[in-house]
Amino acid sequence: MPYVLTRGEVATQLDAIHARVTEVCAGLDAQQMNWRPEGGRRWSIAQCLDHLAKTTVEYGQRVEEAIDAAPELPERPEAHPGLAGRLLIWSIEPPSRIRVPTKASLRPPATLEPAVVRRAFSDSLDYLSALAAHALRVDAARIRYRNPLIGDLRLFDVVTGVLVILAHNRRHIEQARRIRRHRDFPR
């Protein structure tokens, strides 16, 4: 996966994410969307999507705050994360290399209405698209955001923030794909 922020690259990645989610959710009823593997110890497909919608918005809002506080510049065609950012993004990409405990506010409820969670997920990707476009109108490789997952520390640049959200979406969509392929998944 190229770790570069451009309008075209973000659009391509968002299209791929939409396509994978459509594939994963195709033909599933509410029971299947809410089925949890390993006796309920793992998340369901609906829970993965709910978590992604919540995380994209919460994490994105921190990135947005940094963008809004920065001086606007002429739009740049692309921006690249620093080395630490690339390592962070890589660590989030599927297959999962590390597991990070989920904040309580980002944990999904046990059961979800599939249509509601799909709409929230789709809305979160629209938000991410707008956020990425906005990031290209500031010096996104130099501006740091308060990372809500590491005590609001400003360790990473805005480019990294946007690319982390995309990688996080890919990670949990792959998790949802594994759920659907699980041997015990209700057919």
Q: Quote the pLDDT of residue 1.
A: 73
93 closest CA partner among 170, 173, 163: 170
Question: 79, 140 in Cβ contact below 8 A?
Answer: yes
> Checking DSSP bridges between strand 153-157 and strand 144-147, what pairing results, if any?
antiparallel
pTM over 0.85: yes
Which DSSP state fits 26?
T
Alpha-carbon distance values, 136 to 41, 53, 74 (Å): 40, 22, 8
Span 16-31, mean pLDDT? 98
Q: How confident is the model at residue 125 (pLDDT cuts 50, 70, 90)?
A: very high
Mean pLDDT of the chain: 95
Q: Quote the pLDDT of residue 96.
A: 80
Q: Quote the pLDDT of residue 110.
A: 93
Which DSSP state fits 142?
T
Q: How confident is the model at residue 100 (pLDDT cuts 50, 70, 90)?
A: confident
Residues composing the chain: 187
70 closest CA partner among 9, 167, 168, 161: 161
The percent of residues above 70 in pLDDT, for the chain, comes to 100
For 47-93, the pLDDT digits (tens) are: 999 999 999 999 999 999 999 999 999 999 999 999 999 999 999 99
Question: 67, 134 in Cβ contact below 8 A?
Answer: yes
Q: How confident is the model at residue 150 (pLDDT cuts 50, 70, 90)?
A: confident
Domain architecture of the chain: domains with CATH = 7-181 (1.20.120.450)
